[in-house]
Amino acid sequence: MLRLALHGGNSVRRGKPWPLWPSFDEGTERAALAAIHERRWAASWPSSGAPSYELRFASAFATYVSAAFAVAVDHGSTAVLLALEAAGVGAGDEVLVPAMTWVASASAVLRAGALPVLVDVDPETGCIDARAAEQAVTSATRAVIVVHLACTVADLDALLAIATRFDLAVVEDCAQAHGAEWRNRQVGTLGDFGAFSFQSGKVLAAGEGGAVTTSSPSAFRTLQQLRADGRTYADDVAPGSMELVVDGTVMGANHCMPEVLAAVALDRLAQLEAQHDRRTTQADELERRLAAEALGIRGLSSHACVTRRSIYELALRVDVDAIGVPVDTLATALTAELERPVYPPHDPLHRSPYFSPSTRPRFRNQWTKDGAMRSVGRSFPGADAYRRSTLLTHHAALLGGEDDIDDFVHAFQKVLANVVALRNTSGVEGRAVSYS
């Protein structure tokens, strides 16, 4: 039996480099330089006569997701916040949020002045469970945030039916799902709003950035103002004049996406489909081989309505009871073999160090004793099960060649041939890395 890299043996990978992320090429460099040279580094600055990169990127992105409208913003977190505000969410309201998500989905609710009520997730996908969502609805519930997690899509049929029944706004948090489809329709167009992130780790990376999609012309006008201090885009602009003009029907704040980053995002958008195809081919092959190996590790089974997946992190389901080693330990051993991070999910929000509203004075009104009980005062067995039985790896691992899949399979084989040695390895606390 080969000695694990974790225990001083040779690694499976043996120093071979992995694809680098974020990706860029000469076109990206030219795009960024052009934006720098134009000296309009912010949307709120005199125009050259050409539309801002922010506006050009937003319309290209709307076309990409087949949404009627998109507004570019500074971060994905902001996209969730502004979608909630455009939906009319505010003080005194409750918003349903899955317990298994990046903290931004919940902190956006608090920043909107509302209370995030955590809802358990489907242990297979990690996405919000429709039945649990229905049970959490009260007369104060105004909206539900549906997160399409890692490489899956939430059960939109069931969730949209509940939203209709209880008159809830649906914000799809698509920060991990650009380009995924449900019944051949792109996510971000099925709910009232889609919220996307272009942070460095995401499949469309610009450094920082986000966008809100909507089919409503009035919400589009509201969103523009929310992100640009009450301003909207003028219909046409003369060189040297401002493209952003006061509208004043909604007070906003400055959440504009920087022009240089919007230029980078616009360039990167052109590569997204080819990268999607590469990742999907690699993931399909890895999942097929893991199934054939019967190691107790498999791909997640996705809903029949998912006609296309988008892989932000490839999630694998681990039969931890049969294997007898915690996912945290397996992750550490796999990371050493592969020389790139394999990691368990973040802890669900009800026991996450990231989610601690009591540390922020601004959340005092919502985070009362009663509010905290409403938000987290239940058990979340689906989220706990997902956390203890899932391994994740970042999508960049799937952008290389077939040899990479061989290495993944060999690493799994080797680690699982060494479970006896691993049972004596003390559990490693938390995640080796965090990409979120």
Ligand X SMILES: *Cc1c(COP(=O)(O)O)cnc(C)c1O
Q: How far is the CB of 289 from ligand X (least distance, A)?
A: 28
Give the residue, chosen from 28, 47, 52, 77, that forms a contact with ligand X under the rule CB under 6 A. Answer: 77
- Token pair for 40: 């309009």
- Residue 147 binding ligand X, by CB under 6 A: yes
The CA distance from 144 to 282, in Å, is 33
Q: Look at residues 326, 304, 335 and name the one whose alpha carbon lies nearest to residue 412.
A: 335
- Residue 275 binding ligand X, by CB under 6 A: no
C-beta closer to ligand X: residue 412 or 435: 435
Q: Look at residues 147, 172, 123, 101 and name the one whose alpha carbon lies nearest to residue 355.
A: 101
Of 110-118, 168-176, 213-221, 316-324: span binding ligand X (CB under 6 A): 168-176
Q: How far is the CB of 280 from ligand X (least distance, A)?
A: 19
CA distances for 409 relative to 44, 300, 305, angstroms: 51, 17, 29
Q: Angle, to 10 degrees, between the axis of helix 402-417 and the axis of helix 272-293?
A: 30
Give the residue, chosen from 67, 169, 175, 342, that forms a contact with ligand X under the rule CB under 6 A. Answer: 175
- Residue 104 binding ligand X, by CB under 6 A: yes
Phi, psi of 13 (to 5 degrees): -75, -35
C-beta closer to ligand X: residue 290 or 397: 397
- Residue 159 binding ligand X, by CB under 6 A: no
In terms of Cβ atoms closer than 10 Å to its own Cβ (0-12, 13-18, 19+), residue 373 is exposed
C-beta closer to ligand X: residue 179 or 326: 179
C-beta closer to ligand X: residue 11 or 77: 77
The CA distance from 374 to 425, in Å, is 39
The CA distance from 153 to 106, in Å, is 19
C-beta closer to ligand X: residue 207 or 296: 207
- Residue 256 binding ligand X, by CB under 6 A: no
The CA distance from 203 to 395, in Å, is 7
- Token pair for 302: 């996705």
C-beta closer to ligand X: residue 105 or 329: 105
Give the residue, chosen from 47, 101, 375, 390, that forms a contact with ligand X under the rule CB under 6 A. Answer: 101
Give the residue, chosen from 47, 105, 232, 418, that forms a contact with ligand X under the rule CB under 6 A. Answer: 105
Binding site for ligand X (CB under 6 A): 75-77, 80, 101-102, 104-105, 147, 173, 175-176, 197, 199, 210, 436
